[in-house]
Amino acid sequence: MKSENIYRLFGVDDRIAALADEAEEGLRERFLEIDRIAEYNQLKVIRAMQENGISGACMLETTGYGYDDLGRDKLERVYADIFHTEDALVRSQIVCGTHALSVALFGNTRPGDEILSPVGMPYDTLQTVLGLSGARGSLRDYGVGFRYVDLLQDGSFDLEGIRKAISEKTRLVEIQRSRGYADRRTFSVEEIGELIRYIRSIKKDVIIMVDNCYGEFTEITEPSEAGADMIVGSLIKNPGGGIAPVGGYIAGTEECVGNAAARLTGPGLEKELGPSLGNNRLLYQGIFLSPTVTAGAVKGAILAAAVYEKLGFRTAPKAADPRYDIIEAVTLGSPEKVVSFCRGVQRAAAVDAFVAPEPSPMPGYDSDIIMANGSFISGSSIELSADGPLRDPYTVFFQGGLTYQHSKLGVCMSAEQLLEDGFLDDLA
Ligand X SMILES: *Cc1c(COP(=O)(O)O)cnc(C)c1O
* Coil vs helix vs strand at 64: coil
Window 157 to 216, contacts with ligand X (CB under 6 A): 176, 178, 180, 211, 213-214
Residue nearest to ligand X (CB): 97
* 395-399/385-389 β-pairing: antiparallel
Binds ligand X by CB under 6 A, chosen from 41, 85, 98, 224: 98
Long-range contacts of 333-338 (CB under 8 A, 24+ apart): 333/393, 333/394, 334/394, 335/359, 335/390, 335/394, 336/421, 336/423, 337/394, 337/396, 337/418, 337/421, 337/423, 338/370, 338/388, 338/390, 338/394, 338/395, 338/396
The count of chain residues that interact with ligand X, using the rule CB under 6 A, is 12
Q: How far is the CB of 363 from ligand X (least distance, A)?
A: 10
Q: Which residues contact 188 (CB under 8 A, 6 or more apart)?
A: 219, 322, 324
Q: How far is the CB of 159 from ligand X (least distance, A)?
A: 23
Binds ligand X by CB under 6 A, chosen from 96, 132, 261, 295: 96
Closest to ligand X by CB, 109 or 417? 109
Any idea what DSSP says for residue 252?
E
What amino acid occupies position 187? F
**Region of 94-102, 281-289, 290-298, 336-344 interacting with ligand X (CB under 6 A):** 94-102
Q: How far is the CB of 214 from ligand X (least distance, A)?
A: 5
Closest to ligand X by CB, 79 or 214? 214
Closest to ligand X by CB, 192 or 412? 192
Closest to ligand X by CB, 96 or 199? 96
* Coil vs helix vs strand at 283: helix
Q: How far is the CB of 234 from ligand X (least distance, A)?
A: 4
Q: How far is the CB of 285 from ligand X (least distance, A)?
A: 20
Closest to ligand X by CB, 97 or 300? 97
Nearest Cα to Cα of residue 352 among 339, 342, 362: 342
Binds ligand X by CB under 6 A, chosen from 97, 252, 388, 400: 97
Helix (H) / strand (E) element for 107: namely: helix 97-107
Binding pattern for the stretch 125-144 against ligand X, x by CB under 6 A and - elsewhere: x-------------------
Q: How far apart are CA 36 and CA 22, in angstroms?
A: 23
Closest to ligand X by CB, 178 or 373? 178
Closest to ligand X by CB, 226 or 418? 226
Closest to ligand X by CB, 66 or 97? 97
Nearest Cα to Cα of residue 10 among 419, 423, 427: 419
Start-to-end CA span in the chain (Å): 23
Window 234 to 273, contacts with ligand X (CB under 6 A): 234
HEC sequence for 16-49: HHHHHHHHHHCCHHHHHHHHHHHHHHHHHHHHHH
For residues 165 and 116, the answer to whether their CB atoms sit within 8 Å is yes
Distances (CA, A) of 208 to 117, 162, 303: 10, 14, 34
Using the rule CB under 6 A, is 329 a contact of ligand X?
Answer: no
Nearest Cα to Cα of residue 412 among 1, 10, 5: 10
Q: How far is the CB of 63 from ligand X (least distance, A)?
A: 26
Q: How far is the CB of 182 from ligand X (least distance, A)?
A: 9
Closest to ligand X by CB, 104 or 207? 104
Q: How far is the CB of 211 from ligand X (least distance, A)?
A: 5
Beta bridge partners of 399: 327, 385
Closest to ligand X by CB, 207 or 413? 207
Q: How far is the CB of 237 from ligand X (least distance, A)?
A: 6
What amino acid occupies position 135? A
Residues that bind ligand X (CB under 6 A): 96-98, 123, 125, 176, 178, 180, 211, 213-214, 234
